[in-house]
Amino acid sequence: MTATLLGSADAAAASAPSRGRARRRSRHLKWVLLFLAPWAAGMVLFFVYPLLATVYFSFTNYDGLNTADFVGLRNYVFMFTSDPLVKAAAYNTLWLVVILTIGRLLFAMGVAQILTKVRNGSGFLRALCYLPSLAPPVAATLTFVFLFNPGTGPVNTILGWLGINGPLWFNDPNLSKPSLTLLTLWGSGELMIIILAAMLDVPADLYEAAQIDGAGPWMRFRKITLPSIAPVLLFGVVNSIIFALQYFTQAVVAGSVASGSADAVGNSKLIGFPDNSTLTFPVWMYNEGFRSYHMGYASAMAVLLFIVSFAFTAILIRQLRAGKAEAS
Amino acid sequence: MATLTATAAPTRSAALRKKRHPRDIVGWVAVHAVALAMGIGFALPIVFVVLTAFMSDQQALTSDLWPRSWHPENFLEVFDKAPMLEFFGNSLLYSVLATAGMLLSSIPAAYALARLRFRGSNFIFMLVIAAMMLPPQVVAVPIYSMWANLHLTGTLWPLVVPYFLGDAFSIFLLRQFFVTVPQDYFDAARMDGCNEFQMLYRVLVPMTKPGLAAAGLFTFLYTWNDYFGPLLYVGEKQDSWTLSLALASFRGMHQVQWNLTMAATVLVLVPVIVLFLFAQKSFVKGITFTGVKG
């Protein structure tokens, strides 16, 4: 698996082409085009064109209805100098990128490490740890807003039994993002499974040899486990960063449900509750583009989001390339 | 790698079983106590949700954790408050069509990337990864305008059609499965005179059913759970709402207590849990294949 991840199709292509192979190649080019045609159409319609259009719109005052007028860099200038809320939104998203990435990685590694040690009932336990990650984000968010609701929620009730006066959680601007973090950790089962699989892939005799040499558990973790699962961890880091950069649903739903408002979720009045503490960059972008119809401005925000996320995707692609070079 | 969960664990436990020290027993107890606490921690949120879903309206206003009397009729009342069946139908339509479209369009693309040699295949694979990692919000404005110009916003079409034109994540996942099939099978099929299309449907598809199941499950689940897409395209049109969309607004719009809100949450969770119980192996296998290894 490790070796075949990228290399398989190229192994033979490297050898000198004979005339028969050249003929076969042109024959199956037809198949390649046929098989890739739907994907290519989708790529143009839903990736290349909209990406270019977003860049174009970002230099206009497009509002979704009237023809877009060119406004130069005005959207970018507004974003970086005068938009009163974009700073809060960027800060919130940055906060989530840092805390969610570190939190998810450490939490998933910790749980996976425990899971490798469990001998009895491990299948059931793995299922239990993984299941919450499948829950629809809306349902999971409602679950946590209920669990942590300050008045009657089970968490504060149990804290009360212990004599602790529970905080306001999702209703406290200082705790709303940490509460979202707990919700996200609960649903990080996919990462756990990926890391668990990588940990189980490490040959057991490596550990036995290290143990004979007198290496303690921490030493074994640092010198054997960590280097062995490093590629998977890098994937986990990039994946978590991209996940946090597009953090939207949980923030929108938690904000509006915790506010107790009677409006439909997604309504602009409810966004960012409490005190814009859950106003993430994509949430503000959605609000600007699709509630206020400042689509030109939303496009400028999208360009910024793209640049940041693509920088991290590039790291992942480089790792894939390096892995391929190693394999061949 | 493919059988990771099954193979690695027994060898190590067998090595341990040879010499059972008293220290091993203490370790066993410690590990299993921590693991048990962890399992309870993961399960508790759902337990509280279910318990609250059975409470009476009055009790839902209190901080009680256990229902004093059980009210299964809460689940029926959810259907009175909102047309949940209609929303369920919309969700199902979205998920089923998207999954079918994904399989039709992504299996051939993944096959081409995994098994056919052609110039630029690596570049295309990198494009697939780039598309897979793209936050959907980045391209939302032009795509929304496109559907608005076609007067299709407010319908499920904008959500479903892209899946018929190749889904990046699914192509990536399917390719990971397809490269593991030994070349011999394809060589033998070619000897028998199969063309590429026949090899795809006679050799590859029957041999990679777990992979296809995993890709299908992930697409189904992703669309079932999707909130941003439906909010963008059908948010203004309640007739086309999906379950996720309806659930998010359920408490606010109908001014109900937590008991009904949690009953609605359970109703949305149940299909996902059932799906998982039936296809646990495919899920786990699919997940491990997405962990990019160098």
Chain A residues with CB-CB distance to B130 below 8 A:
310, 313, 317
Nearest to A244 by CA among A309, A170, A315: A309
Mind listing the pLDDT tens digit for each residue in A228-261? 999 899 989 999 999 999 999 999 999 988 887 7
Distance from CA of B93 to the nearest CA of A (A): 17
Decide if B94 contacts B242 (C-beta within 8 A): yes
Mind listing the pLDDT tens digit for each residue in A69-107? 999 999 999 999 999 899 999 999 999 999 999 999 999
Task: Using CB atoms, pick whichever of A32, A149, A238 lies closest to residue B118.
Answer: A32
A:120-149 residues touching chain B, CB 8 A cutoff: 120, 122, 124-132, 134-139, 142-144, 146-147, 149
Say if the Cβ atoms of B35 and A118 lie within 8 Å: yes
Say if the Cβ atoms of A128 and B39 lie within 8 Å: yes
Q: According to the model, what pLDDT value does residue B112 have?
A: 94
Decide if A121 contacts A168 (C-beta within 8 A): no
Task: Using CB atoms, pick whichever of B133, B224, B293 lies closest to residue A2.
Answer: B293
Residue of chain A whose Cα is closest to the Cα of B126: A317
A:179-198 residues touching chain B, CB 8 A cutoff: 186, 190, 193-198
Nearest to B12 by CA among A240, A202, A233: A202
Cis peptide preceding B158, ω within 30 of 0: no
Q: Is A242 on the interface with B (CB under 8 A)?
A: yes
Q: According to the model, what pLDDT value does residue A315 have?
A: 87
Nearest to A25 by CA among B127, B110, B121: B121
Q: What percentage of chain A reaches a pLDDT higher than 70?
A: 88
Statement: residue A38 has pLDDT above 70: yes
Say if the Cβ atoms of A143 and B49 lie within 8 Å: yes
Mind listing the pLDDT tens digit for each residue in A10-37? 433 434 444 555 555 566 788 899 999 9
What span, in angstroms and rounded, lies between the C-alpha atoms of B82 and B53? Answer: 16
What span, in angstroms and rounded, lies between the C-alpha atoms of B208 and B211? Answer: 5
Residue of chain A whose Cα is closest to the Cα of B5: A197
Say if the Cβ atoms of A28 and B180 lie within 8 Å: no
Q: What is the CA radius of gyration of chain A?
A: 25
Q: Which class for A269: exposed (0-12), middle (13-18), buried (19 or more C-beta within 10 A)?
A: exposed
Q: According to the model, what pLDDT value does residue A4 have?
A: 33
Chain B residues with CB-CB distance to A302 below 8 A:
137-141
Mind listing the pLDDT tens digit for each residue in A136-190? 999 999 999 999 999 889 999 999 999 999 999 999 999 999 999 999 999 999 9
Give the CA distances from residue A45 to residues A1, A38, A52, B58, B88, in Å, rounded to whole numbers and listed in that order: 33, 11, 11, 53, 29
Q: According to the model, what pLDDT value does residue B18 have?
A: 52
Give the CA distances from residue B16 to residues A305, B5, B10, B21, in Å, rounded to whole numbers and listed in that order: 50, 18, 10, 9
Distance from CA of B109 to the nearest CA of A (A): 5
Statement: residue B234 has pLDDT above 60: yes
Q: According to the model, what pLDDT value does residue B274 have?
A: 92
Q: Where are the alpha helices (H) located in chain A, listed in sequence order?
A: 4-13, 19-43, 49-57, 74-77, 86-117, 122-130, 137-147, 154-161, 176-186, 189-201, 204-212, 217-220, 226-245, 249-259, 281-286, 295-327
First to last CA, chain B: 13
Q: According to the model, what pLDDT value does residue A161 have?
A: 94
Say if the Cβ atoms of B225 and A136 lie within 8 Å: yes
**Residue-range domains of chain A with CATH:** 16-57 (no CATH), 84-327 (1.10.3720.10)
Mind listing the pLDDT tens digit for each residue in B167-205? 999 999 999 899 988 989 888 998 998 888 888 888 899
What span, in angstroms and rounded, lies between the C-alpha atoms of A240 and A249? Answer: 16
Task: Using CB atoms, pick whichever of B141, B244, B249 lies closest to residue A57.
Answer: B141
Distance from CA of B162 to the nearest CA of A (A): 7
Residue of chain B whose Cα is closest to the Cα of A264: B249
Q: According to the model, what pLDDT value does residue A121 have?
A: 85
Nearest to A304 by CA among A96, A85, A74, A76: A76
Instruction: Quickly count: other Cβ atoms within 10 Å of residue B34's Cβ.
Output: 14
Q: According to the model, what pLDDT value does residue A35 have?
A: 94
User: What tokens were used for A58?
Assistant: 């970002």
CB pairs under 8 A between A and B: 364
pLDDT, mean of residues B203-210: 90
Q: According to the model, what pLDDT value does residue B195 have?
A: 87
What ipTM was estimated for this complex?
0.88
User: What tokens were used for B161?
Assistant: 């059609």
Say if the Cβ atoms of A197 and B4 lie within 8 Å: yes
Distance from CA of A174 to the nearest CA of B (A): 23
Nearest to A9 by CA among B183, B289, B116: B116
Mind listing the pLDDT tens digit for each residue in B131-175? 999 999 999 999 999 999 999 999 999 999 999 999 999 999 999
Say if the Cβ atoms of B45 and A144 lie within 8 Å: yes
CATH 1.10.3720.10 in chain B, residue ranges: 82-290
Residue pointed to by tokens 């062995």: A228
Chain A residues with CB-CB distance to B247 below 8 A:
136, 138-139, 142
Distance from CA of B226 to the nearest CA of A (A): 8
**Per-residue confidence at A2, pLDDT binned at 50, 70, 90?**
very low
- The superfamily in CATH containing domain B82-290 is MetI-like (1.10.3720.10)
Q: Is A244 on the interface with B (CB under 8 A)?
A: no
Burial A76-95 (b: 16+ CB within 10 A, else e): beebeeebeebebbbebbeb
What span, in angstroms and rounded, lies between the C-alpha atoms of A131 and B47? Answer: 13
Q: According to the model, what pLDDT value does residue B292 have?
A: 52
Residue pointed to by tokens 């590990």: B31
Residue of chain A whose Cα is closest to the Cα of B254: A262
Mind listing the pLDDT tens digit for each residue in B241-286? 999 999 998 888 887 889 999 999 999 999 999 999 888 888 887 8
Q: What is the average pLDDT score of chain B?
A: 88
Residue of chain B whose Cα is closest to the Cα of A126: B39
Q: Where are the alpha helices (H) located in chain B, listed in sequence order?
A: 4-17, 22-53, 57-60, 73-81, 84-115, 121-132, 140-149, 157-160, 168-178, 183-191, 196-198, 205-207, 209-225, 228-234, 243-254, 258-278, 280-290
Q: Where are the alpha helices (H) located in B116-182, listed in sequence order?
A: 121-132, 140-149, 157-160, 168-178
Q: Which class for A299: exposed (0-12), middle (13-18), buried (19 or more C-beta within 10 A)?
A: buried
Chain A residues with CB-CB distance to B228 below 8 A:
248-249, 286
